[in-house]
Each structure stands twice: as C-alpha cells, then as structure tokens.
Chains A and B, each alone.
Chain A
C-alpha cells in the first residue's frame, strides 16, 4: 500500500461509488441496486484495507482473493475495481452491454480480476474454499474472502461448505453474509427464514461475528479478527440495509432488481452528494 486510508476516506469513497453504481445501473437499464448498495461499504473496507488490492498485485499468484458469491451485486464490485484503477472507470457505463467485459454477473474468463464466475447462487463460496485450500497447499499465506447473500444462504451448497471448511482447517477463509433481509419474492424471513443464522453457523464450528455492515470501524475490526490463525474459518454476519444510502430504495424489496429511471437516478445522486457535502 502506498498510503493508509482513514475511515473517513473509506466512507467518502463508498458513497462516491454509490453514485457510480446508480449511474451504471441507469445506463444499463437493468440490474440490482438493492444488494449492490448494501454491500458497498463492506467491499470498500475489504479492498482498501484487507485485500490491499492494487493494480500491481491484481493477478499476483499469491494475492489475497475475493469471490462475490452473490454475483448480482457485481455493480458494487466493478465500482471498487474501477476506483482502484484495476478496470478503466470509463468502462463502467458499458455494464451489461454486448461485448463488454462487465457482464451482468461476474465472468472470470473475460475479466480475470473478478476471480470467479458467479451468478448461480451457492457456488462462489465453494470456489473460495478451493482457493483457500490451494493457498494452504502452496503455503503462500494468502487469505480468501467470499461475500454471500442472505437469500443465497438458503442454498444447500452453502451448507455443504459450512460443513467442510472447518474440516480442512481453513483459517485463511472468511465468509461475509450481506444480511440485508430481502430477496426477490419478499422479506427473507418470509420467503425462507435463515435465522437464527448465528447459532447455525457457529454450530458448524466457524468463528462467528455479527456486526453492523455499514459501520466502517466495525467492518474493519471484524476483518482484522479473521487473521487469528487458530484453524477455524471466519464468518461475519453483516447486518445491512438493502438500498443503503438512497432513502427511497432503503429497505424495499422492490429495488432488488430494477434500474432507476433518469429522474430517480438524479434524485438519488443529489441525496448522496448532499451527504458527501455534509461529510466535510
């Protein structure tokens, strides 16, 4: 790292990236704002302070890796990669367009810096496990992070990985649950309740923490704790708000998978710009 970013720097960056996300989704005319806005604070702290991702190390064999298992949150991932200079910022508006490497869900084969092709839920967490196992075999000290959704947590493959990672002693694996409590068909608690999620994961012998997924200091501290090295994989339940940062999107399942129109985009960006001004 060339410089240390303060929590205020990170907060500012995350809100600026919210503007990028809204612009991308509006330009694409489709996509998932709710989940992209709920995870962006987590990704910001992760990429700047824990992956220490730079252009130079973006594809280094021993890099720390991040798998976006909830692939539909990819506008958030593209926004972070652009801000770090790993993908060109002017490419963001090509999201979901024919021929763009910025596919509607991440595709490793066309954009290797996204680490894994995801978009079918439940699979990224297994792939992250495999990457953590490879790092153990190579003894290179690399850490692997996966971000999953609360709807995704319903998939059987997630439970398979919850069972297997402790067996392999993957203390270099961290899974973060973006617990925004909404999915396409409604509130997660009604569609298929995952609670008590903390007890469930802990019973599989993971080190489990529960944090406010929009509290930058808490995110940073939780990620720091995952470096314990005691053999147990780490699971962070991040309580988040779907559509966080845009008042008319916050907490509404309706904004899971539709793009804002011109007027809505303008209103949302104005609100975030006001917030950023007040941050000074």
Chain B
C-alpha cells in the first residue's frame, strides 16, 4: 500500500508515544500537513504548537533535549532547515538530542511551487558535524527510521515526502542505520538513490535490464553517515555510478557520493536530480517528467551516460 512518509512518521511517533513518555513533539502551524497532529491528539500535554516560529521551535526543543526529553520538531523541510544557523548552534553544536522532521521535500511537493519545496536541505544539514540524515523510501522504512531515532538519540534530520510512495519493503523490513539497502544486484553500473525516487530508479533499472544493461540499485536511506564501503564497492565492481535524488544535484546525495569516490575510488559519475535550477508549480508527475526523475527520465539519462 502506498503512503506518504510523513503519514508513516505521524502514525509511528504517535504509536511510540504510549511507551516513551520522554517523546515531545513540536509543530509550527503545519501539524495537519506534517501529520504531527496524530501525536498531538493522543498526547496533548507533550505536543507543543509553536505557531509560525521555526527558530523559536528549534531553540525550545533544544532546551527540552538538554533536560532529557526527546523532541521531534516538525515543519516543511525548507522552513525549518532554512533556519540553518539556529540549528547549527542550538541543536548541532549543543549536541541536543533533537530530531528535525522535514516534510514536503523536493519537487514532489508539486503545485505549491518552489517556495514550499526543500531542494537544498540535505546539502545544508550535511555540513554539520555529527548531524545524522535519514531519508526513507517507503512506509516500512519510515516507521523503522522513527523507531531508530527514538531509541538512538542524537541530532538528526528526517527527510519526508508530501506525496505517497509505493512499498519497496514488507513490514518485517530490517532497517540498518548507516547501511545501504541493496534492492537489485548488477554488474554494469550502480544506481544509488534515496527517498521518493528510489522506486523510480528501481523501475529504470528494470527498463535497462530489458535492453541488456545490468544495473545494481542501492537505496541510500542514510545519507549521513554515508555507507562509504557500499559506495566504494559499487564503484569498484561496476565502474560507473549514478546518483538519483529529489534534491539539488549540488551538495546532496550526489555530492556526498562524489566526495567519497573522488578521494577513494575515482569513478565516472552521473548525478540525477534538480540541475541547479529553482523549482516551479506543476503536478508532481509533470515535474518528475520535466526534471527526468521519473523512471523513463532516469533510464534515458543513464542510456546517454553509458553510451
């Protein structure tokens, strides 16, 4: 069953609220959109509506964390991660156990247009020492990631989608933080994808397989710390690496992989994503087609890359 990862988050954090009374959830006037309202309706004393005050939400949550609570702060990713310097000081540098839950990532936001889309959030969070970045690709992974974050407190960024994502894993999926999730083995090239475009990347690999191109597909749910061993092995064993993300090609998964390979295993690379342009209004399907982030677009770019 397909589900938006923000919904998976909302349901899972609300379920965990019963057994973890140190979980506190904050929202900045977007509780219905981020799905934090589910927790809020069950645990009103541990849910804090901050109004449209993202900086204050970041700082308040950090103060709570320094007193032993496990705060989850929710907003559209661009609005909360956009308060970068506040996150830098109050959460990251302070080693405050706060999870930044950024929903509505990427061009998949659709009709609302660029102002609501986070296309640079991974790049920003990746620069902060020790900041963990998890981007789940489906419902099971999102739920597993939330359970992991509750049990393993540290400054973290959980990047979620507005749109529904098809299931890639069963509910028994064993999420392993920091370990790439191999969805398809292959020897001709490696496709490293994350979040909302993993299913498209897998579909693209199937299209290429018909043409005799055998692609390995890795789901990079943990962007930081990156599974460097899996990245280097993929490059060494296939010789060609393609990254796919609903994010700018600058500084996100593609940037992270390029940094690792540049130092450890220089390899020809193709970064598929938003190519240094702003987003715009349109249906998610139209935007994915335009930016060649749908399966056909990914396959087409790969054909050109390996030609």
Contact of A120 among B24, B65, B85 (CB under 8 A): B85
- Closest-by-CB residue of A relative to B89 is A120
A134 B55 Cβ-Cβ under 8 A: no
Q: A157-B55, A161-B56, A164-B56 are in contact. Are A109 and B95 (CB under 8 A)?
A: yes
- Contacting residues, chain B, for A107 (C-beta < 8 A): 93
A176-208 toward B: CB 8 Å interface, digit per residue (1/0)?
Answer: 000000000000000000000000000000000
Q: A133-B48, A161-B56 are in contact. Are A116 and B94 (CB under 8 A)?
A: yes
- The residues in B between 43 and 75 inclusive whose CB is less than 8 angstroms from any CB of A are 45-46, 48, 50-51, 53, 55-56, 58-69, 71
A157 B66 Cβ-Cβ under 8 A: no
How far, in whole Å, are A133 and B25 apart by their CA atoms in the complex?
Answer: 13
Count of A-B contacts with CB under 8 A? 103
- Contacting residues, chain B, for A115 (C-beta < 8 A): 66
A133 B63 Cβ-Cβ under 8 A: yes
Q: How far is the CB of B57 from chain A (nearest CB, A)?
A: 8
Most chain B CB neighbours (cut-off 10 Å) among A61, A108, A117, A130: A130
Q: A117-B94, A157-B59 are in contact. Are A127 and B66 (CB under 8 A)?
A: yes
B69 A134 Cβ-Cβ under 8 A: yes
B89 A117 Cβ-Cβ under 8 A: yes
A134 B64 Cβ-Cβ under 8 A: yes
- Contacting residues, chain A, for B67 (C-beta < 8 A): 61, 130-131, 134-135, 138
In the assembled complex, B301 has its CB within 8 A of some CB on chain A: no
A107-138 toward B: CB 8 Å interface, digit per residue (1/0)?
Answer: 11100000111111011111111111111011
Q: On chain A, which size bracket covers the interface?
A: 20 to 34
Interface size on B, residues (CB 8 A): 30
A122 B55 Cβ-Cβ under 8 A: yes
Q: How far is the CB of B26 from chain A (nearest CB, A)?
A: 9
In the assembled complex, A275 has its CB within 8 A of some CB on chain B: no
Chain A interface, >50% SS class: helix
In the assembled complex, A85 has its CB within 8 A of some CB on chain B: no
- Contacting residues, chain B, for A126 (C-beta < 8 A): 55-56, 58-60, 62-63, 90
In the assembled complex, B265 has its CB within 8 A of some CB on chain A: no
B66 A118 Cβ-Cβ under 8 A: no
How far, in whole Å, are A178 and B94 apart by their CA atoms in the complex?
Answer: 24
Q: A108-B94, A117-B94, A137-B45 are in contact. Are A130 and B55 (CB under 8 A)?
A: no
In the assembled complex, B86 has its CB within 8 A of some CB on chain A: yes
Contact of B60 among A108, A109, A118, A164 (CB under 8 A): A164
A164 B68 Cβ-Cβ under 8 A: no
How far, in whole Å, are A201 and B95 apart by their CA atoms in the complex?
Answer: 31
- The residues in A between 91 and 121 inclusive whose CB is less than 8 angstroms from any CB of B are 107-109, 115-120
Q: How far is the CB of B31 from chain A (nearest CB, A)?
A: 15
A108 B63 Cβ-Cβ under 8 A: no
* Beyond known contacts A127-B62, A157-B86: 18 more, CB 8 A cutoff: A108-B94, A116-B62, A117-B94, A118-B89, A120-B89, A126-B56, A126-B59, A126-B60, A126-B90, A128-B63, A131-B64, A131-B66, A131-B67, A132-B63, A134-B68, A134-B69, A160-B55, A164-B60
